[in-house]
Structure 1
C-alpha cells in the first residue's frame, strides 16, 4: 500500500514538468502536445528551451506589438458580438 502511494506520488511529480511545459507553450501559441512530449523525454531541458523561446519572442519589439494588436482586435470583436446580441 505504501509503495503504491509512493509510485503515484512519483508519477504525479514527474508529470508536473510536461504539463507545465505544455501549458506554457499553448499559452504562447505553440503546440501543447509537442511540448508535452518533449517535457516527458527531456523534462528540465525542454522547460528551459521553451523559456528561452518565449523570452526571445517577448524581447522582440515587433512581435510584442503584434501580440498586443491581436489582443486588442479580439477584445473589439467580442465587444461587437455582445453589442449585436443584446
Structure 2
C-alpha cells in the first residue's frame, strides 16, 4: 500500500484553513504557530504508518528553497519524525 501524500501549496496557517485542508480529525490537533502566517507546503498522508522512506520520497519531490512545511498523518515512525525534524517540518499526528 502506497502512502503518497496529498500536497497543498500556499496554505494560510489559521485554524479554520487548516481544518478545511486537514479534515476534522487532524484539524483538531493543529495549534497555530505564531511564527508562521502561511505554510509553503502541507503534506497530508493517508491513514496508516508513515515511514522514513515515505517522508524522504515525499520531501524529495518538493522544490527548494522551501518555506515552512507541515506534515500531517496518523502515525509516524521514529525515523520519519527524525527526518521531518531535520528538514525543519512541523508535524501533526493523531494521539
Relative to total residues, which structure has the larger strand share, 1 or 2?
2
Which structure exhibits the higher relative contact order, with contacts defined as CA atoms closer than 8 Å and separated by 6 or more residues?
2
| TM-score in terms of structure 1 length | 0.22
| TM-score in terms of structure 2 length | 0.21
Q: Which has the larger radius of gyration?
A: 1
